[in-house]
Amino acid sequence: MDRPTPDSAVADAMNRVLAAEREAADAIASGQRAAEATIEAARARRRQILDTARRRSSALHVRAQMHLQQALQDLERGNPEDPADPARLRSLSRKAIEHIARRLTSIDHEPD
């Protein structure tokens, strides 16, 4: 009968341990690569969100400046509409907030 010698049994056991260590190291490396890919995808998405927010913010700023300039011109011309009318201001504020919220929370909307 072939009976393994103690040296060959130890060598077989060590080979199994080394193979298990290699498998574990490969699994760890694979997990690290997957985690790095996930982190990079999240960073890219963050950059995309920030770019979109900056574009939207800039566009809103430009539009607000245009509206402000128009309001100043109306005041200088003596436009009869009272710009400080509380009801008008509430209405304008409500519309502006709704508009900004809609633009900032929509995914596929780009500034006009």
Buried b (16+ CB within 10 A) or exposed e, 31-62: eeeeeeeeeeeeeeeeeeeeeeeeebeeebee
For the entire predicted model, the pTM comes to 0.50
Q: How many domains does the chain have?
A: 1
Residue 42 covered by a domain: yes
pLDDT at 51: 94
Segments forming the whole domain that contains residue 41: 6-81
Q: What is the pLDDT of residues 89-109, one digit of tens each?
A: 888 889 988 988 888 888 766
Residue 105 covered by a domain: no
pLDDT at 82: 64
Residue 45 covered by a domain: yes
Residue 87 covered by a domain: no
Residue 88 covered by a domain: no
Residues of the chain with pLDDT under 70: 1-2, 4, 79-83, 108-112
pLDDT at 111: 53
Residue 19 covered by a domain: yes
